[in-house]
Structure 1
Amino acid sequence: MPVAVRLPLPVFFERETRHPHKTFLVQPLGGGEVQRLTWADAGQQARRAAQWLRERALPPGSHIALISKNCAHWIIADLAIWMAGHVSVPLYPNLTADSVAHVLTHSEAALVLVGKLDDWPAMAPGVPHGVPTISLPLCPSGVFDFSWADLQACASIEDDPTPDATALATIIYTSGTTGLPKGVMHSFGALGFAATRGTQLFGLGEGDRLLSYLPLCHVAERMFVELAAIYTGQTVFFAESLDTFLTDLRRARPTALFGVPRIWSKFQLGVYAKVPPRRLDRLLRLPFIGPRIGRKVLAGLGLDALRIALSGAAPVPEALLHWYRRLGLDVLEVYGMTESCGYSHVCRPGQQTIGWIGTPCPDVEVRIDPDGEVQVRSEATMLGYFKDPDKTRETLTADGFLRTGDKGEQDADGRLRLTGRLKEIFKTSKGKYVAPAPIENRLAEHARIEQVCVVGDGLAAPMGLCVLSQAAPSEARAALQGSLERWLQQTNATLDKHERLSRLVVVNGVWGVENGFLTPTLKIKRNVIEATYGAHLHAWSERTEAIVWQD
């Protein structure tokens, strides 16, 4: 029997009534101090802010922007916007002023709520003239038109508003691996559909704990943290900063955690910085002692209470999945897109087949078109792209399937394996097509390769551009080079002849969000990498060494 879809605000009101004094949000304030907000606290503050928004007399369904790093008042502000009858438009907290201007102008934002940020002065010039700004708690100093205190001076709204399921709830701007970000429109019904069904997959409830650290403006964190907490009653802990991340993780001791592959890899590298890989491997192999060592490693990371570990945004190297399994933790892969509320495929506990993502989520239809593209359809599919009907028609088929742009295949049990991106496939000068993603996943299993991008459009053979981990410089160059050469040979042995890499190039510097090489969800921006290194590619391709070190 189909499960009835529950909408976000009514579910929040139920929680507010059922356990008003239970802790909902735990916010670090610095210096080891934290603020604990109950469901009643969050509801009361959201209701007062909603009343203030209503008093602005904006047209119903106005677009209200929210620019902030993850914090308790991100979620409270989102609820207030919905309670006031408006649409929330979250922005990434590290955009340039030009990008801020583009999103605020394109989305027709009427107001901007500004929260916890690292460099608001650099972003502030992007706010269009005449658009009022409101400072949230933890907001950096600056000149704002209104403060959160102004909003809290209002009386609370007296009703429990329930927007129609078809009403627009949010516009989520994609992180933009190529070109300008697109505004993905989602209804309350789509959010409710994904949250209602998604939260039933893992048996999480009011005694569970989440740590929020990936951008809440991204669909994955929005669904797995904000909406999952509302629908299950979990407590949400927030990370204060990168410097305090492990402390925050140990404080929260989450029972469920969503990460991207680079996060899981960084945990591993952190362990290897303290215990050499070979020594840890020997210890884990010991009978009786091995499992205890695994539990100790997880406890040191703050992951000892973890029951559900999920990874998305990109495939996880198989060697990394095996490593966590040896520690006693199954990292389960999930698959989804902003355009599908992140709700598409997930690996269920106890059903993991490494190399395959998992089966479709409940009530998701999947098909593979003749070109190998994965297409999905469910009630979580977007309404379309804001002010871009042409792109919407290009992305949604006539019968309502979402074109994911991913190539993939299904096994007899419906498990999905991704084999590359349609638009990332390039052609070498020999006329052969190469899908870079599977090769990158294989290369990334090397303990000293932190990031890798396979390029080769117009070259005689593809090559891999690599960023090494922080631990690599401590090794002798000759030993490291020998290790990379052997890894290149092993990788090439698994590839078809036209896919084999001519060499690996170890590039200088790092690929980060701050310098534009990664999206805020840590996906590589291929166009930026190709533009940065494009002038060197042909010269590198003519070198004879298997491993080239950038000067």
Structure 2
Amino acid sequence: MNISTLPPQTTINGIRFNATPGQRPLVVDECKTICELFQKRCANLGDRTAHREKDFGIWKPYSWADYWQHAKWIGLALRKLGLQRGEVVSILSEDRKEWAWFDMGIQGVGGIASGVYTTDSANQLKYLINDSDSRFLIVENEEHLDKYLEIEADVSGLVNVIILEDEGLHDLTHPRCMMIQDLYALGQQVEAEEPERFEAEIALASPQDTALLVYTSGTTGMPKGAMLSHENILAAIECGAHALPTLDSDEQLCFLPLCHILERDVSVYFPLAGKCVVNFAESPETVFANLQEVSPSTFIAVPRVWEKIFSQVQILVQDATPAGRAAYGMAIKVGLARAEYVLAGKPVPAAIAAQFWLWDRLVLRNLRRMLGLDKMRRGGTGAAPISTELLKWYWAIGVSLIEGFGMTETSGLATLNTIKGNKIGTIGRAVPGNDIRISAEGEIQLKGLNVFQGYWRNNSKTAETFTADGWLQTGDMGEIDDEGYVKITGRKKDIIITAGGKNITPAEIESRLKFSQFISDAVIIGDKRKYLTALIMIDQENVEKFAQDQKIPFSNFASLCAAPEVLQRIKAEVDAVNAEFARVEQIKDFRLIDVLLTADDDELTATMKLKRSFVEKKHGHLIEDMYN
């Protein structure tokens, strides 16, 4: 492509984009593909730190040169082993630097990278490998290798399985399996024979080539592979640069699964443009400790993480001295008063500003430091509804938390609130380069260069996803106000129609319930029923603390859920939420799900979203008990 033929450009934080967002051809710093941008960044940044990862308790840096060299070896080795352009490589691993190295190496030689959640079962892995026709599988360790060995006979299309950690596998001899060190050695050999081969492969890439395959979470039926092109991802990078600017001085913490497009954007693709440093959390269990250590500049998480941080604070407050609890209460009260003005875009009265200055120094600054949020200039939440009260609480403690919306099918980003343009209770306005409309039925529909190519080998599902005039049907119901802010009122398939004919969207009620420190999640029931009920999952940590403080005996999670005092506590929380809704929207009865759910369970997706249909089916006896 001749640079002189490109459209006029604008510069954001030192990154050059098309002057008009969403304009084709789309370029980022004169690059038209992800791997071309990767090549340019590594050449220019060299010894600067790209990634950090803990090694024996110490954060160890890895440079952009390391990034380039390992990705090159990976790409060249996979080509030597038989990977063809347009073929798929599946990655089954927790977040780590090698995830990004493989992503860039695979794309560099024209392959398609596809992530697999580490919580997926062997059968789910079999489905994903066969559906994508993967040629190679990357596994992190012995545990993940065991999943492959369990289904080996049913995934005969795999050429090789590459293992990242050799602990417990030193004596492994398997014709299909090889260690990552052996893959690097093969890549080094190919590089010595053909020094310019990787660069030549990168030059062959086209903006319309499929770069990655991201499987939907499967809340309804089997997961579908969404095909995202280089252009789709560059469009998401452009949207992010306008609405979620990344600075080259930023520190980030990667902890959500990199299979998920949101984390892939934030921790792999946006840093390619923004040149920032990505720190990889040790594991999902250490996220909060790593957050304290890194103190990131920006932090994007699903609502459950923000809810968990809030719950931890509530436990600390309960354990504080009377003076400490009183100080926290005063600080939050002043913080909320200030937040009302800030969120409305109005000047904060001098008296409130002075009080906040005092309480910030006495209480809130220390609280943010303790949580690892003290250097944060922006927090983000998405992927599921979040309580407006929870958002206000974060603004009250001095954390600017904004809500956005995106789908796998929109490359992770579609609408967003910003620090200066934030309306709580909405998912913000369409990001630059995107168009949005509400259909006659009330569905949110989208159009833009970030909208995916379609579902992998599934033309019928692809056709169902688009309108006749080419708009993406999100499946979310909503409305747009006069300023362009979008509010989701519920999922199209989740609308409850009571026996009395009332239409109720459960998302807002469920969101309000989850703001309670004692409630982790909730599912509203009531379709074709006379009244609403709820299945509730308690917050284990907070309810156990409540039980211990009240000297309520329990021996396990089930007995905790059955304790009369716990049921009364949850009833009080439900009654408080009921007071905020019309009579027809009030919960008349509830039951507690007395088993701890994880992403391994059928009821939850890997991104911790409830599969409503599975919950209703598996706990149908509880539902019938409420109506009988």
Q: TM-score range by the shorter chain?
A: over 0.9
Distance, in Å, in 2 between the alignment partners of 1:101 and 1:522 is 21
Q: Is the counterpart of residue 75 in structure 1 residue 146 in structure 2?
A: no
1:9 pairs with 35, 48, 51, which one? 35
Q: Quick one: which amino acid aligns to residue 11 of structure 1?
A: L
What residue number does 2:523 align with? Answer: 453
Q: Is the counterpart of residue 525 in structure 1 residue 618 in structure 2?
A: no
**What pairs with 1:235-246 in structure 2 (closer than 5 Å)?**
235-246=277-288
Tell whether the 8 Å contact from 2:51 to 2:277 is kept in structure 1 after alignment. yes
- 5+ residue gaps, structure 1, are 543-551
Deviates more, 1:401-410 or 1:199-208: 199-208
- 5+ residue gaps, structure 2, are 1-18, 320-324, 335-354, 551-562
Number of matched pairs: 541
Q: Is the counterpart of residue 56 in structure 1 residue 104 in structure 2?
A: no
Cα separation, partners in 2 of 1:502 and 1:12, compared to 1, 3 Å = same
Tell whether the 8 Å contact from 2:496 to 2:527 is kept in structure 1 after alignment. yes
Deviates more, 1:6-15 or 1:344-353: 6-15
Cα separation, partners in 2 of 1:140 and 1:258, compared to 1, 3 Å = farther
Q: Quick one: which amino acid aligns to residue 477 of structure 2?
A: K
What residue number does 2:160 align with? Answer: 133
Per-residue Cα deviation, 1:273-293 (whole angstroms, up to 9, x for no partner): 222296432343473442121
Q: Quick one: which amino acid aligns to residue 226 of structure 1?
A: V
Q: Quick one: which amino acid aligns to residue 171 of structure 1?
A: L
What residue number does 2:178 align with? Answer: 146
Tell whether the 8 Å contact from 2:215 to 2:223 is kept in structure 1 after alignment. yes
What residue number does 1:411 align with? Answer: 481
Distance, in Å, in 2 between the alignment partners of 1:27 and 1:426 is 46
User: How high is the TM-score relative to the length of structure 1?
Assistant: 0.93
Tell whether the 8 Å contact from 1:89 to 1:171 is kept in structure 2 after alignment. yes
Per-residue Cα deviation, 1:445-496 (whole angstroms, up to 9, x for no partner): 2221111111123432111111111221333467655554344334333333
What residue number does 2:544 align with? Answer: 473
Distance, in Å, in 2 between the alignment partners of 1:208 and 1:110 is 36
Determine helix, strand or coil for the equivalent of 1:112.
strand
Determine helix, strand or coil for the equivalent of 1:418.
strand
Cα separation, partners in 2 of 1:94 and 1:478, compared to 1, 3 Å = closer
Task: Indicate the structure with greater helix content.
Answer: 2
Per-residue Cα deviation, 1:47-94 (whole angstroms, up to 9, x for no partner): 111111121233321111111111100000011101122111211111
Distance, in Å, in 1 between the alignment partners of 2:300 and 2:608 is 14
What residue number does 2:401 align with? Answer: 331
Per-residue Cα deviation, 1:383-409 (whole angstroms, up to 9, x for no partner): 101111111111011222110000011
Determine helix, strand or coil for the equivalent of 1:503.
strand
1:216 pairs with 258, 262, 271, which one? 258
Distance, in Å, in 1 between the alignment partners of 2:137 and 2:246 is 34
Distance, in Å, in 1 between the alignment partners of 2:448 and 2:485 is 17
Tell whether the 8 Å contact from 2:79 to 2:109 is kept in structure 1 after alignment. yes
Tell whether the 8 Å contact from 1:46 to 1:79 is kept in structure 2 after alignment. yes
Determine helix, strand or coil for the equivalent of 1:59.
coil
What residue number does 1:545 align with? Answer: none
Distance, in Å, in 1 between the alignment partners of 2:432 and 2:331 is 41
**What pairs with 1:38-57 in structure 2 (closer than 5 Å)?**
38-57=63-82
2:360 pairs with 291, 300, 324, which one? 291
| Identical counterparts, % of pairs | 27
Deviates more, 1:219-228 or 1:463-472: 463-472
Tell whether the 8 Å contact from 2:121 to 2:600 is kept in structure 1 after alignment. no
Distance, in Å, in 2 between the alignment partners of 1:83 and 1:333 is 33
Offset, 1:117: 7.7
Determine helix, strand or coil for the equivalent of 2:437.
strand
Per-residue Cα deviation, 1:406-450 (whole angstroms, up to 9, x for no partner): 001111110111000000113333343322111101211222111
What residue number does 2:427 align with? Answer: 357
Distance, in Å, in 2 between the alignment partners of 1:118 and 1:459 is 45
Determine helix, strand or coil for the equivalent of 1:460.
coil
Distance, in Å, in 2 between the alignment partners of 1:80 and 1:271 is 42
Tell whether the 8 Å contact from 2:92 to 2:144 is kept in structure 1 after alignment. no
Determine helix, strand or coil for the equivalent of 1:66.
strand
Distance, in Å, in 2 between the alignment partners of 1:34 and 1:493 is 49
Distance, in Å, in 2 between the alignment partners of 1:71 and 1:137 is 10
Q: Is the counterpart of residue 282 in structure 1 residue 330 in structure 2?
A: yes
Cα separation, partners in 2 of 1:220 and 1:140, compared to 1, 3 Å = farther
Cα separation, partners in 2 of 1:116 and 1:174, compared to 1, 3 Å = farther
Determine helix, strand or coil for the equivalent of 1:230.
helix
Distance, in Å, in 2 between the alignment partners of 1:13 and 1:167 is 17
Tell whether the 8 Å contact from 2:591 to 2:622 is kept in structure 1 after alignment. no
Offset, 1:184: 0.3
What residue number does 2:571 align with? Answer: 485
Distance, in Å, in 1 between the alignment partners of 2:161 and 2:297 is 34
**What pairs with 1:103-114 in structure 2 (closer than 5 Å)?**
103-114=128-139
Cα separation, partners in 2 of 1:215 and 1:269, compared to 1, 3 Å = same
Pick the structure with greater CA Rg.
2
Offset, 1:346: 0.7
Offset, 1:140: 5.8
1:121 pairs with 146, 165, 169, which one? 146
User: How high is the TM-score relative to the length of structure 2?
Assistant: 0.82
Q: Is the counterpart of residue 207 in structure 1 residue 239 in structure 2?
A: no
Distance, in Å, in 2 between the alignment partners of 1:168 and 1:364 is 20
Offset, 1:136: 4.3
Cα separation, partners in 2 of 1:90 and 1:472, compared to 1, 3 Å = same
Distance, in Å, in 2 between the alignment partners of 1:139 and 1:216 is 22
Over aligned residue pairs, what C-alpha RMSD do you find? 2.1
Tell whether the 8 Å contact from 1:99 to 1:126 is kept in structure 2 after alignment. no
Offset, 1:139: 6.1
Distance, in Å, in 1 between the alignment partners of 2:424 and 2:142 is 38
Q: Quick one: which amino acid aligns to residue 83 of structure 2?
A: L
Offset, 1:199: 2.3
Distance, in Å, in 1 between the alignment partners of 2:602 and 2:97 is 27
Determine helix, strand or coil for the equivalent of 1:90.
strand
Distance, in Å, in 1 between the alignment partners of 2:267 and 2:370 is 23
Offset, 1:130: 5.2
Distance, in Å, in 1 between the alignment partners of 2:372 and 2:405 is 25
Distance, in Å, in 1 between the alignment partners of 2:162 and 2:168 is 9
Determine helix, strand or coil for the equivalent of 2:252.
strand
Distance, in Å, in 1 between the alignment partners of 2:565 and 2:316 is 20
Q: Quick one: which amino acid aligns to residue 20 of structure 1?
A: G
Q: Is the counterpart of residue 257 in structure 1 residue 299 in structure 2?
A: yes
Deviates more, 1:455-464 or 1:123-132: 123-132
Deviates more, 1:177-186 or 1:131-140: 131-140
Per-residue Cα deviation, 1:227-277 (whole angstroms, up to 9, x for no partner): 011111111101112332233212222101110100001011112222229
